[in-house]
């Protein structure tokens, strides 16, 4: 009887170890700046009147996705009044991403860069009618969960490649 329990335990342990080895890590999704701007500019909005919920979701990104932007810097402009650097890449000359602080001393035009971002969900009461709930997919590195708003992206998210 003891050997049967020991054998059953060993089989269960082997199955668990095998299944852990089979779990695949999610692969990061890589985009150019132009592709990324296009994706994040197109939210799908769903309103559920019965439950008073509004959902904002990216059409092709999911919660917990890791997003890598690889591109070349076209221009950097530091806004000292608001303490952020607007970064433009060659694949989208019309839209920029704001990075916290002045990063013009670390990066320059022509640098090949990698930006590592994570997609998260924030859920909170609608500020103007607390009976409604907002649930939004957003960029973790560019979102303040305390006040539920966009902020400049952490400058730790960008590196040269």
Q: Are 118 and 65 in contact (CB under 8 A)?
A: yes
**Residues 6+ positions from 44 with CB-CB distance below 8 Å:** 55, 56, 57, 58, 59
Q: Which two tokens stand for residue 84?
A: 């952020």
Residue 134, classed as helix, strand or coil, is strand
* Total Cβ atoms within 10 A of residue 148: 16
- The answer to whether residues 85 and 33 touch, using CB atoms and an 8 Å cutoff, is no
Mean pLDDT of 25-36: 90
Q: Which segments of 80-130 are extended strands (E)?
A: 84-89, 92-100, 112-125
Report the largest interatomic distance among the alpha carbons of the chain, rounded to a whole angstrom.
76
pLDDT for 80-90, tens place per residue? 999 999 999 99
Q: Is the pLDDT of residue 21 over 70?
A: no
Helix, strand, coil in percent for the chain, rounding step 5: 20, 45, 35
- String of DSSP letters for 145-158: TTTTEE-PBPGGGE
* Cβ 73 vs Cβ 109: under 8 Å: yes
Single pTM value for the model: 0.80
Q: 59-114 pLDDT, tens per residue? A: 899 999 999 999 999 999 999 999 999 999 999 999 999 999 999 999 999 999 99
């Amino acid at each position: 009887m003891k050997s049967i329990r020991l054998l059953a335990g060993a089989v269960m342990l082997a199955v668990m170890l095998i299944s852990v080895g089979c779990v695949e890590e999610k692969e990061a999704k890589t985009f150019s700046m132009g592709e990324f701007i296009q994706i994040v500019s197109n939210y799908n909005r769903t309103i559920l009147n019965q439950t008073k919920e509004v959902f904002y979701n990216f059409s092709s990104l999911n919660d917990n996705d890791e997003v890598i932007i690889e591109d070349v810097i076209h221009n950097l402009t530091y806004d000292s009044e608001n303490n952020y650097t607007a970064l433009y890449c060659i694949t989208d000359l019309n839209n920029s991403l704001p990075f916290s602080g002045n990063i013009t001393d670390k990066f320059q035009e022509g640098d090949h860069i990698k930006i590592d971002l994570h997609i998260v969900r924030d859920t909170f009461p609608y500020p103007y009618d607390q009976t409604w709930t907002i649930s939004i997919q957003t960029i973790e590195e560019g979102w303040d969960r305390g006040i539920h708003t966009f902020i400049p992206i952490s400058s730790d998210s960008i590196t040269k490649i």
